[in-house]
Structure 1
Amino acid sequence: MTFFHFGNCVALSYVPYVIVYRCSGLAEYSAFWKCAQAAAAYLFTQLCKMLVLATFFPASDVPTGSLDVVGEFMKSTVDLTDLVGLYFVMTKIAGKGQLKFMAASMGWATAELIMTKFLPLWVGARGIEFDWKYILMSFDSNVSLVHHICTAMLVWLYSRSDLQKSLVPVVLSLLALTSFRPLIVEILIHAVGLGSWTLLLAKALFTLCTGLIALQIYLGMSVQTANSYY
């Protein structure tokens, strides 16, 4: 029974990644190696972030259970390094074409999934007692996949020279929101007292809104490019 629970959690976490990889066209272009290189870039970026956090942002003296907004804000600024890493992947590794942000985001999200979710699922989901938190963790990994795809799309849109000037502030605002999402989550936890499932719903709604706006801009640019071509 415990192994069945572990299998369900793994399927909920990893199968959507496989489906997105196969249905997005990445499999047809043999982009597996590009995704693997993006995953390696993710690991290097996280190592750099850990070094910066350990060097310039030591542990504060805030009492346990309290939220240090200023400290968390400064630490969240380090997450801007992820945007730089995604930009590097899309310009130096992922190749050409509009699918390169999919290759970058798939490799990035998969590496994060393996590094942050596999061990807790392996140790906890195979426990004696059933716990909903591992199902919650599996659903959260799906939200993270969409979040990384949206972030990579926004980075790709910002790097485009044909992006309309009026849309640049919108893209930059969305990039800032995606980068500071952990801080927003912490504020919601401490200020509003959201539960686990409610917090997951809030993350999903936040990602959905960001993704719809980014997708609208992306489709608009695609139509504009097609019209200029013809």
Structure 2
Amino acid sequence: MLASNINVTVRLSAPMLLKLVGGFASVGLPGNMTLFHFGNCFALAYFPYFITYKCSGLSEYNAFWRCVQAGATYLFVQLCKMLFLATFFPTWEGGAGVYDFVGEFMKATVDLADLLGLHLVMSRNAGKGEYKIMVAAMGWATAELVMSRCIPLWVGARGIEFDWKYIQMSFDSNISLVHYIAMAAVVWMFTRYDLPKSFRLPVTVLLGLCVYKAFLMELFVHVFLLGSWTALLVKAVLTGSISLCSLFLFVTLVHSN
């Protein structure tokens, strides 16, 4: 009788023991997985910047502090933009689902200050055009990455629940790097005194696209009800098109001189 009771007890307690062991084993899993997820997001967001800095030759010119100065200029320009927007463009209080086309367009026009900031950074650096463009673009894009995505990745990507938006945020940071390189190249071409007349129209159009790209993306998302991945793909295609056109004009202009 005692043996049968012990046998029943063992049979009843074995599944419970397995559940307990599985529960204790899964306690360390979320921490490892969240650390792995954060590492993936961090590497996807930051490593392209490091690779671009190393492979572009900026490290050979000891351009690190010049990139830091460009980042400081970015912070000053963004502060001026925020003060201007808060003063002249109060918060939109329209109905739900109503898109303020005129207001958003005027707010996007404030991004012209980024063009002035990039021109200021490039005008203060001596050297070839490629060097000026890469210093301004790397400093500008890195400052935006640190200020707008560092804290969300650190706080959000380390959460217990997996969320694709942090992967999307990392991809978006790479798109921003390409965008600012193209924008700096277009600004450099636009401010050249020897720019051929045949280049003025396409360069001006590219400047307008660089300034109003965010506005166009918001408009596309609102009109066509794009999902997050679709919007990211459209943004990548638009940025890639602008970058290829900028690269073509830049190479043509450099070789023509």
What are the equivalent positions in structure 2 for 1:58-97 lying under 5 Å apart? 58-92=90-124, 94-97=125-128
**CA deviation vs aligned residue, 1:138-191 (integer Å, no higher than 9, x gap):** 001000000000000000011112211111111111111110111101111110
Matched, 1:196 2:208: no
Q: Distance in 1 between matches of 2:79 and 2:133?
A: 22
- Distance in 1 (CA, whole Å) between partners of 2:97 and 2:70 is 36
Secondary structure at the residue paired with 2:60? coil
How far the C-alpha of 1:223 sits from its partner, in A, is 1.1
| Match runs of 1:1-230 below 5 Å | 1-92=33-124, 94-98=125-129, 99-225=131-257
Encode CA deviations 1:190-216: one digit per residue, 9 max, x unaligned: 100111111111111111111111111
- Please give the secondary structure, in 1, of the residue aligned with 2:71: helix
The letter of the residue matching 1:192 is F
TM, length-normalised to structure 1: 0.95
For residue 123 of structure 1, report the CA deviation from its aligned partner: 0.5
User: How many Å separate the matches in 1 of 2:117 and 2:205?
Assistant: 19
Structure 1 gap segments, 5+ residues each: 226-230
Task: Flag the structure with more relative contact order, 1 or 2, with Cα contacts below 8 A and sequence separation at least 6.
Answer: 1
Structure 1 segments of 4+ aligned residues over 4 angstroms from their partners: none
How far is 1:65 from its partner?
Answer: 2.7
In 2, distance between residues paired with 1:65 and 1:108? 33
Secondary structure of 1:27's counterpart equals helix
Q: Structure 2: any 5+ residue segments left out of the alignment?
A: 1-32
Q: Helix, strand or coil: the match of 1:22?
A: helix
AA partner of residue 14 (structure 1): Y
- Aligned AA (2:39): G
The residue number in structure 2 matching 1:228 is none
Give the aligned length.
224
Amino-acid identity (%):
56
Q: Partner amino acid for 1:84? A: L
State the secondary structure of the residue aligned to 1:141: helix
**RMSD across aligned C-alpha pairs, in angstroms?**
0.8
